[in-house]
Structure 1
Amino acid sequence: MRFDRVRLSNFKCYEDADLRLDVGVTVIHGLNGSGKSSLLEACFFALYGSKALDETLDEVVTIGAEETTVELWFTHDGESYHIRREIRSRDGDARTTKCVLDGEDRTIDGATDVRNFVTELLRMDTEAFLNCAYVRQGEVNKLINADPSTRQDMLDDLLQLGTLEEYRQRASQARVGVGRVRDDKQGALSEVEDQIEAKAEKNLHDRLNDLESEAAEIDCEIDRYEQNREQAVETRDEAEAVLDEYEQKQEELESLESDIDDLREQIGETEREREQLAERIEQRTETLSERRDRRDQLLEGVEQFETVEARAESDDLTREQLDTEIDAVEAEIEEVTDQIREQSVEKQEADSTRESLLESAADLEETATERREEASQLEAELEDAEDNLANKREKVAELTAEIEEIHERFEDAPIAIGEADAHYETVSDDLSTCREQLAERRTELENARERVSEAESLLDAGKCPTCGQPVEDSPHVDALGERRERVSELETAVADLEEREERLETKLERAEDLREREQRAAELEQNRDNIEQILDERESSIDEKRDRIEQLRAQADEDEQAAAEKRDEAAAAEDRVDEITEAIAKRNREHGELKERLEQLEQIDTTLEEIDQLQSDVERFREQRAEKETVNDERRERLAEKRERRDELRETFDETQIERARQQHENATSYLEEVGETLDDLEGQRTELQEQIGAITNELDALEQLRDRRDELTTTVQRLNSLYEEVEQLEETYAQLRAQLRQQNVETLERMLNETFELVYENDTYSHIDLDGSYELTVYQKDGETLDPDQLSGGERALFNLSLRCAIYRLLAEGIEGTAPMPPLILDEPTVFLDAGHVGQLVELIETMRDLGVEQILVVSHDEKLVDAADDLVTVTKDSTTNRSTVERQPARERLLEADD
């Protein structure tokens, strides 16, 4: 497996970073605190999410940002994958809003599902990844510092031996479960045998025969009573038929009586309606006479009709003639109305023309006044502008003098004017570089002082300052002097850098003063140029104002003359308005006379319409009265038919036959009630016997089922005894297999650990390393003496742990059944506890792992020896002003070409 690319947005100190990674050894280089380790943490976070973080989720979001995105492209077992995680932070509460893994043939969505898929794909969870492939800063001694039990669990999980223990525990649980079920079944078998013995003592078959005989006798008696009941039912039904026929005829007779009464009532009601219609006809006739009289009165009050069609006598007047006369009057009204409207429009236009002329005259007079005022104002502004020009000329002279003074001061400066910005940037860069170097030297000095202090403490205790062994016969006694010399060298270097920092700070202050003076000179020159340009513009503006004053006064004279002409035209328009107003009044009088004539004609038309309606009502009421007479004739015929049918039904009734049927029905009903009670008693006795028979039958069936159950339980107990023995053997097999595999892995891991440690360790003091079945580690010296790993010196202990981690990585990569795809080997600041000599051995260890086939090794370090050994170099830098980091990748071939140049 290898990481191909990582892209970050607002992750910790990275605002935007995109880094491609290749096979081989990649060293991530940069100053302390620049963000090197954050790149590896981002890869780890992309794989496992929040489980990979030591801090809370909101702490990975860049300060000031609300959204973070981490993307990782990687290849595993020949297949490419891409993971994208997005985080949103609101008010300190961060949560994952998107997590998607895309493969060549699948897509997985959701943080939990992605983490589970990665765990299954790599065959390791977060903890296993840290224990195998990812050596984080400060955790190089994690395995060696762990107690044997914890180390055993960690390595067993990495080597998948924990699965066998899980299987053994499952087998143990299964064995206990089978034993529990077997005991339950054995108890159930004993209980069934007791139940069978109890039922056999009840003589169930003899009791069943007695009950069946008694039930047969009761069945015969029930049959006799049921035959008698059937005869009684037949008699009752025949009597009911006679009574039903009587009731049907009685109902028909009652219905006929009701129909006869209804017909009489309907005939009477209809006759009353005919009388009402006669009264309404009489009323309409009287009203019709009144309306004719009113029509004659209205016609007498109307002048002679104008149209030919309307000149007939009043008695012969028709609605059509009246409509013609109304249309003629309405046409005259419309014609007069149109004339009034046209004259009103003409008056409005004349009135509007007059108003417009008056407004134009007022506007012209106002414009003339404004122009004369503007001319006066321009004359005053002209005097002020001439005074202002003199002041500006004096200001230009003052600026020129100040600029010349600044130029004179630059004659004694180390730079010429115009070079101040570049000089300031150069001094500022020198000061930043000096401060970075001073921070590195102070960190190295602090680490060196700690090593000397630790060594002096061990020396005072009689132990070697390097390896912690007794001073006698120790090969590392002289190391303390070298460390003290290193502290002295670093103290001198720090003092020199502090002195240089002070000189550069003073130089930076002088450079800043020169830059400010240069900027002031530029501002003054710009102001002088602006004022000179304003002077040119103002002189031109004064001439323009003089011309404008003359022009405004000439235009004011023209406006006043035009206003007088407009007022003359407005007076003529007002005379025309008076003429039109008199004509409109005449037309309005004609319009009123025509409206009055139209109202009279419409009253006549309304009266004629009422006469027509009254004549129509009289005719309609007469027709309705005739129709009701016809309906009553039909009802009288139906009434005669129903009376005849009523008389026929009265003659068919036989009271004697009906009384006999009633008596038979009463006797049969009484017998059925009595025999029903008797049969109910017999049925109850038979039911009780059947229940007893059923109970005994059920007991016999239960006895047979108990015997079948006993046979089944006997077979089940025998099978469970056999299964218990098999599961017990399986549990023992898993335990033995785990012990065998652990021993095989211990032997292989011990061999790989010795090969790796021997390869990178150059001291002849140690013979070999022993790893027992409990993962207890022992270091053997050449003289046969043993040491615990924590008795090694700091650098040796670090190399020992790195060797152990690399050996575990090799074991997992080779696997039990062949090679397996492994994650990149990641080493975060592995040189923290190493001196210069041990760093060289670490380089050899990394080269060895690459030669053994590790496809990708990622190392975070600021050590130059590791940088030289890299195939690819990734440089991380942090901007001190924004506190944001950037990355730059440089392959080894490009670095070699730069070195040759």
Structure 2
Amino acid sequence: MKFDRVRLRNFKCYADADLRLDRGVTVIHGLNGSGKSSLLEACFFALYGAKALDRTLEDVVTIGEEEAIIELWFTHEGGDYHVRRRIRATGERATTAECVLETPEDTVEGARDVRAEVTKLFRMDSEAFVNCAYVRQGEVNKLINASPTQRQDMIDDLLQLGKLEEYRERASDARLGVKSVLDDKRGSLSELDAQIEQKEEKNLHERLNNLKSKLKETEGEIERFEENQETARQTREQAVEVLETYEEKREELETLSDDIEELESEISQTEQQRSEHGERVRELRERVEELDDEISDLLAETELDSADEDAIEERLDELDAEDEAVADELNDAKTQAQMFGNQADNLAQKADETEQRAANKRAEADEREAEADEAEADLEARRERVAELDDQIEAERAKFEDAPVEFGEAESHLGDRREAKSDIQSRIEDAKADLQSARDSVAEAEELLAEGKCPECGQPVEDSPHVDTIEEDRERVAELETELSDLRDRREEVGEEVERAQALVEAEREVQSLRENRKLAKESVADREETVEAKREEARDLREEADELESQAEERREDAQNLREKADDRRETVEELEAEREAIAAKQDRLDRIRSLRSDRSDAEADIERHREKRASLDDQNDLRRDRLEDKRERRRDLRESYDEQKVQSAREDRKEAEEYLKDVEVKLDELRERRDNLQSAIGGVENEIEELENLRSRREDLLERVESLESLRDEAAELQEMYGNLRAELRQRNVEQLEQMLNEVFELVYQNDSYARIELDGEYELTVYQKDGEPLDPEQLSGGERALFNLSLRCAIYRLLSEGIEGTAPMPPLILDEPTVFLDSGHVSQLAELIESMRELGVEQIVVVSHDDELVAAADDVVYVEKDSVSNRSTVERRESLLEAAD
């Protein structure tokens, strides 16, 4: 994974910035406070949002502005990604107005979803990102200064071991939860045992038998008294029946008088109705004669000889069959007329559509021709671009015609010239030191001579053999000055050679870039040629399709006209058939009218017969009424003779005695029934307790099974907890061994000529440094610079472990170091540069370093220069290709 581009607007000290990042080592260079670290913070914030901030969103937006936009383009596992965040600070607090992550598959929106997707991509959250790949300013000793527990948590989380601890804790919680439930169930089991024992002590079955015996005795007494009660009821009912009989006789006498009067009235009314029915019969006979005349007139208009029902029915069947045949023919004619008309309309519409499609095809063919013409024009431009690139390549290669090296050797030549310049610089420094020493010697000798002393031994000048050496020293000074001047001239010449060599390197790079561009241009020419031919071919095909469609349209119009003529023929047939059906319908109506009249005649004759029957019935009714009238008169005479007052008085006395007994026996029965109800209730209570006892025993069996199951589940949870703990310890040990190996490999690269031998890492991530003599040291005993470099080595080793993986490689984010030289002296800075170089050699795709140290700048592949305007307090970024330019 690597960062490709970051673009900022109103982010902290950046009003507008757009920076592209390449593979290799990139150093972000600039003065303290210029905003170097803010660039890395922007990348970190783009990935993880508010989780990447130490403070609030308000600090993201430039002071005085209402909106900040942060965009990051990055490559991950061969796919291109783009994340965009827009922060608004117009209200009481800043909010995320927009957050979008574009992936090769889809688009993720929303700050929370984007952060979750980034965490899933990198397999690390913001905290793990900081602990692994992003060494922030001032946190270079974070892992060393952390407590053992904190260090374990950090590294375990990075190596994905925290999940196992989480699962172990879940298993522990599950075990404790099962134990709690088990204890509760055991308590419930003890409570059930106590309840069962309490109910068994009541001898429920014996109590139930005693209660049932008492209930049987009580029910016997109730049965005896109920029999006596029934006897009393019968006596009372017999008395009441006698009283009611005599009362009924008295009432019957009154009723009979009323009935006799009513019957005499009914006989009179019935005689009146009988006369009315006779009159109605005469009227109906006249109606039958009128219907016979009308039937005869209608029959004369038909083809029938008689109005016989069978003949009418047979003729109607013939007419129905004839009408059905005509109707079928009519329906067929209508269907064909509509069908031919619809087909004609459809064909006409299809002809119009076909002509439109043909026009569309021709228009589309014209568009393809126009596109082909445009592509042909663009093709010429691309061919010219290929020729231009060829000329540019030749122009760049021409720079090597008078060069001291062949094309392809510029990089090596540049290194030689830089090395030569460095050697000359060293010689200049040595010459300057020698010149200063010689000048100091001459000055000292001249002072001694002025005092009259020998420059060599300090004795009086007279007779001293060393006085003449001062001239030699002056000559030596002159020689050194000449040598120093020559070296400086040579340095300028070599400097010019370095610049020319740099120009040759840039020319080689430009040729490589131009060749790639030329390859792409030639590919685009081939693509455009194919496009032109394809467009022309499409245009020809479209015109051929248009011709064919126009021919189809003409054929469909001719077919439509033929179908319309057929439809007109069928419509004439429809009119003829409809007239024929109307004639058949008139014949059917006459026959139906005859049938209706015959029905009316039949109804009239039926009415005549019905009125005759009613007249006869009324005669019969009056005869019956006269018989009933005589019976009622005779019954009235008998009732008046049979009424006995003495029997009525005796029945009244029997009824009174029976009612008094029934009143007393009801009280006794209520007492006995209440006793029976109490016994039944008691029996029900005992039976309920017996049922509860059985339920308690059943619940105890179920609960006992549940307790045994929970005991087994508790043991399984304990085993699962132990398994996760053992697995975590095993994986940690494997990680520790591999991390220790990688840490020593990095450590050896950095301290290969130092006094330290190796590093030991135990299972709790405790670190020990061993000197060459075998003496162990705690990392806290190292100097500040050594401790910082040691911690950087540890971070790089963890990065390597995560990148290479325990069982295969894993994509990793860029290795980011923010001001890693804060605690380092010049010697340790060189070791840091070696550490960075070793990480690149080990395959780290992208390393980004924020530093103002010139030695790191010189070792970088690319340099990003950050500068802050003192007036506007806004920072700008510039990506420089030349390392010497950046260093200057």
Task: Give TM-score, length-normalised by structure 2.
Answer: 0.48
Task: Give TM-score, length-normalised by structure 1.
Answer: 0.47
